[in-house]
Amino acid sequence: MSLGAVAITGAAGRIGSVVRRALRSEVNRLVLLDHVPLRAETANEETHVVDLRDAAAMESPLSGTDAVLHLGGLPDEAPLPDLLDTNVLGTHNVLEAARRAGTARVVLASSNRVTGFYPNAHRTGPLEPVRPDGLYGVSKVAIEALGRLYSDKFGLSVICLRIGSFEDAPTEPRHLATWLSPRDAVGYVRAALIAPPSTRFATVYAVSGNTRRFWELPEESVLAYTPVDDAEQHADRIAGAHVPADPSAPQAGPYALPEFTLKHIRP
C-alpha cells in the first residue's frame, strides 16, 4: 500500500534520515524539508531548504501532500525564547500550512520529556497530566496543545509521538527503560501515517518494548504498532546496568537536575 505523498521536516536529522530511507519505497512522493541543503537520491524525492519560522515558506512544499511528519526543531534544552521561536512557532507554521494545503494527517514529534518528573517506579500513560523536566519539555507540551487545537478546531488528524531515547543501541542505564531503536522508530512513524482517518487526535509513547520501560505502550485501537526490540538484550554491555534504579528518582534522570536548565536561563 502506498503512503501517497509524505512530507518530512527535519529530514536531515538522525530520525529523519532513518525514516527517509525506510519510507522512500512506500510513497509516491517524498517531500524533504530542512534548514540545510539536501540532495534528492531517488526519482520520487524532492528537497526544500526552509526555515520553520517562515510561515510563507512552508506553504508551497506541503501542497498536494497526504501527510506530514514534523521532526524539525531544536532537539534539546535551550533558552526558552529560542524554543518558543523554533519549536512552538515552527510547529504552528507546519500545522497552518497543512491546514491550508488540505493535508489530512500530521504526525508531530513530541518527547518523553513532557513527563520527565514522574518517578521511575511509575508506569506513565499518555493521558496523565504533563510534568515536563525542563524548558525543552515545556516546548513539546505546547506543540501537543497546538496539535490538539488544530484537530478539534480545524479537523486535522494529528498524532503526537512522545519519542524515547533514539539510538542505534542503548549506551547508558537509563536507556534500558527509554530506548527507541531505529527499527521501532520507523514502525511507529509508519503506523501513525497509516492510522485510519477516524483517529482525530492521539498521543502515544514511541519506545521500544523494553523490559524496564517507564511508559505505557499504545493500545492497538489507538495506534496499531507493537515494538519488537528490547534494550535488555544490550544490558551486559552497559556499565551500571545491574544497579537497581532509584524508584523515587525522576524518569528524566540528569535532565531533571536544576543545573541542566539553569545554564539556559539568561541572567
Cell digits of residue 119 = 518517578
Q: pLDDT value at position 1?
A: 63
**At 205, phi and psi to the nearest 5?**
-85, 125
Burial 181-218 (b: 16+ CB within 10 A, else e): bbebbbbbbbbbbebeeebebbbbbbbbbbebbbbebb
Rounded CA gap, 186 and 174, in Å?
Answer: 22
What rounded mean pLDDT belongs to the chain? 97
Please return the burial class of 18, using the count of CB atoms within 10 Å of its CB with bins 0-12, 13-18 and 19+. middle
What are the structural domain ranges in the chain? Answer: 5-262
Contact present, 131 and 115 (Cβ < 8 Å): yes
Those residues with Cβ within 8 angstroms of residue 69's Cβ, 6 or more apart along the chain or in another chain: 6, 7, 8, 9, 19, 107, 109, 189, 192, 193
What's the residue count for the chain? Answer: 267
Using one digit for the tens of pLDDT, what is the confidence trace for 145-202? 999 999 999 999 999 999 999 999 999 999 999 999 999 999 999 999 999 999 999 9
Rounded CA gap, 76 and 83, in Å?
Answer: 9
Inform me whether the pLDDT recorded for 82 exceeds 70.
Answer: yes
Give this prediction's pTM.
0.97
The DSSP 8-state label assigned to residue 255 in this structure reads: G
- Annotated catalytic residue: which of 136, 205, 225, 255? 136
Using one digit for the tens of pLDDT, what is the confidence trace for 208-231? 999 999 999 999 999 999 999 999
136 among known catalytic residues = yes
Q: pLDDT value at position 2?
A: 79
Inform me whether the pLDDT recorded for 205 exceeds 80.
Answer: yes
| Of 63, 20, 58, nearest in space to 42 by CA | 20
For range 247-262, the mean pLDDT: 98
Rounded CA gap, 197 and 9, in Å?
Answer: 22
In this structure, how many other beta carbons lie within 10 angstroms of the beta carbon of residue 66? 19
Provide the CATH number for the domain formed by 5-262 in this structure: 3.40.50.720
Rounded CA gap, 249 and 172, in Å?
Answer: 16
Q: 3-class DSSP state for residue 153?
A: helix
Task: Give percent above pLDDT 70 in the chain.
Answer: 100
Using one digit for the tens of pLDDT, what is the confidence trace for 104-126? 999 999 999 999 999 999 999 99
Inform me whether the pLDDT recorded for 7 exceeds 70.
Answer: yes
DSSP for 38-95, written as a single string = ----STTEEEEE--TT-HHHHHHHHTT-SEEEE--S--S---HHHHIIIIIHHHHHHH
Q: 79: phi > 0 → left, psi -120 to 50 → alpha, else beta; which?
A: beta
Rounded CA gap, 259 and 54, in Å?
Answer: 32
Strand order of the β-sheet with 5-9 is 45-49, 29-34, 5-9, 67-70, 105-111, 157-163, 201-206
